[in-house]
Amino acid sequence: MHLEQWDDFVKARYQPDRKPEEFRQFTEDAPSVVKDFYQQNHGLQTLDFVLAKEKEYLPLRRRVMSVWEAMEELNKLVDDSDPDTDLSQTDHAIQTAESARRDGRPRWFILTGLLHDVGKMLAVFGEPQWAVVGDTFPVGCAWSDKIVYHDYFRANPDSQRPELQTECGIYERNCGLRRVHMSWGHDEYMYHVMKPYLPEEALYMLRYHSFYPCHREGAYQHLMDGHDREMFHWVREFNQYDLYSKSDTKPDAKALMPYYRELVSSYLPDQIQW
């Protein structure tokens, strides 16, 4: 039932000439599936939960498969956190990559566009959507009021742990985001899957592309160091392709596939640890 509600909402919102500021409008007219998603996400993404998921997944022993096998699996997924597109995950990936390619971005940048959401494989592995998608944020410290539906954090058990409700929480000021535990989801997971293969700029783009409170709203500067601030240039550069490439025009995946198969094979092995 919620898929019909979702489709109606997306079609009512879509305009082919939408301006950047018209995206990500998480308002009261958002469908209940979006608000329900964030209520679960903000209520259940605790520090202990994140640490447990890191321990469970980051040894990367879940499965061995190609990127293409993963993307095929992902076409079954409807992202309940995203009110801006109803295309398949592969179509959105190609949209993102093609937008970057048209602008003459480096090959690794284009590849990152193609791969940025493949970490949603977590849903195929059985994780609920609130542990796969949605805006990301640090755990183990106070939540910024720049996070969408911030009030929903009142139900999070960490709100009752005073040591986690200071500005820095368990971290040192300006410790660097590499020392910070982010809410668990596809960004964090794919960052670790791709660590052996992609340049650091691409890894920042993968890990933080959903960290909107920081790269769009400027929150959490107190946890960043100088290197983070330098590298977030690439996160912001990437975001224009992830967010503003969305439309309901389906890309010609068949015609484009030879280019993308060659691109993937030039950076990644045939089989990857997931």
Per-residue pLDDT reduced to its tens digit, 57-106: 999 999 999 999 999 988 876 655 444 445 677 888 899 999 999 999 99
> Which pLDDT score is estimated for 180?
98
The Cβ of residue 22 has, within 10 Å, a number of other Cβ atoms equal to 12
- For residue 24, tell me if it sits in a domain: no
For residue 11, tell me if it sits in a domain: no
Residue 249: pLDDT band (50, 70, 90) is low
Is 5 a member of any domain? no
The HSE-up count of residue 118 (CA atoms within 13 Å, CB side) is: 25
Better-scored residue on pLDDT, 221 or 1: 221
Q: Which two tokens stand for residue 101?
A: 């390619």
Query: For residue 219, is it within any domain?
Result: yes
User: What's phi and psi for 64, nearest 5 deg?
Assistant: -115, 125
Domain count, the chain: 1
Distance CA 242, CA 85 (A): 11
Find the domain containing 63 and state its range.
Answer: 33-268
What's the per-residue H, E or C state across the chain?
A: CHHHHHHHHHHHHCCCCCCHHHCCCCCCCCCHHHHHHHHHHHHHCCHHHHHHHHHHHCCCCCCEECHHHHHHHHCCCCCCCCCCCCCCHHHHHHHHHHHHHHCCCCHHHHHHHHHCCHHHHHHHCCCCHHHCCCCCCECCCCCCCCCCCHHHHHHCHHHHCHHHCCCCCCCCCCCCHHHCCECCCHHHHHHHHHCCCCCHHHHHHHHHCCCHHHHCCCCCHHHCCHHHHHHHHHHHHHHHHHHHCCCCCCCCHHHHHHHHHHHHHHHCCCCEEC
Whether residue 18 is contained in a domain is answered as no
Place of tokens 């601030």: 229
pLDDT at 197: 98
pLDDT band at 15 (very low <50, low <70, confident <90, very high): very low
φ/ψ of 182, rounded to 5, equals -95, 155
- Cα 179 from chain centroid? 19
From first CA to last CA, the distance across the chain in angstroms is 32
- pTM of the model as a whole: 0.85
Q: Is residue 12 part of a domain?
A: no
Mean of pLDDT values over 131-150:
97
228: in domain: yes
Give the pLDDT of residue 20. Answer: 43
Residue 15 lies in a domain: no
